[in-house]
Amino acid sequence: MNILKGKITAVKTNGNLSLVEIDVDNISFKTIVVETPDTASYLTKGNIVKVIFKETEVIIGKGVEHAVSMQNKIVGKILTIENGELLSKLTIDIGVGNIVSIITTNAVQELRLQVDEKITAMIKTNEIMLSE
């Protein structure tokens, strides 16, 4: 699990869903959850929460400019690449800490990803969980 701590800056609720914005040291994360401030008291502006996402949900884009629907785009630097037969594990320095991404070894080769390279880590809005 990738776990980052941040502060809730906005909560937009519609029915049972809430779109939550969290600031993690000036990096903004957006997540959609099946909770509302009524069902989860921690969904309050200003609250400190954990932002949790699975390594396998972190997409890697080469460089910094990407026109994609993904709302969570974080620029970082590859620290390590551990190549497996099918899957590879990348550790990425995003300034506020490290996150891990698991992508296919094929993808690492096709993108010719290298240590120290500047990349963009991307996570879909619905793949981020929150915890108190």
Partner 1 sequence: MIHIAVQKKLTAVEGEMLLDVDFTLEEGKLTTLYGESGAGKTSIFRIISGLLKADKGLITIKQKTWLDTEQKIYLKPQQRKVGLVFQEYALFPNMTVKENLFFALEKGQDKKIVDELIAIIELGNLQNRKPQHLSGGQKQRVALARAMVRKPDILLLDEPLSALDPKMRAKLQDYILEVHRQFKLTTLLISHDIGEVVKMSDCVMIIENGMITKQGNPIDIFTNQRVSGKFQFSGEIVQIQKEDVIYIVTIIIDANFVKVIAQEDEIKDLNIGDKVIVASKAFNPILYKI
Whether residue 2 contacts residue 101, with contact meaning beta carbons closer than 8 Å, is answered with no
Single out the residue of 52, 75, 96, 111 in contact with partner 1 (rule: CB under 8 A).
52
48 scored as a contact of partner 1 (CB under 8 A): no
10 scored as a contact of partner 1 (CB under 8 A): no
55 or 117: CB nearest partner 1: 55
70 scored as a contact of partner 1 (CB under 8 A): no
Contacts of 51 (CB under 8 A, 6+ apart): 3, 4, 5, 6, 22, 24, 29, 31, 128, 129, 130
30 scored as a contact of partner 1 (CB under 8 A): no
d(CA 112, CA 108): 6
Least separation in angstroms between CB 105 and partner 1: 8
Give the footprint of partner 1 on this chain (CB under 8 A).
Answer: 1, 32-35, 40, 42, 50, 52, 54-56, 82-89, 100, 102, 126-127, 129-132
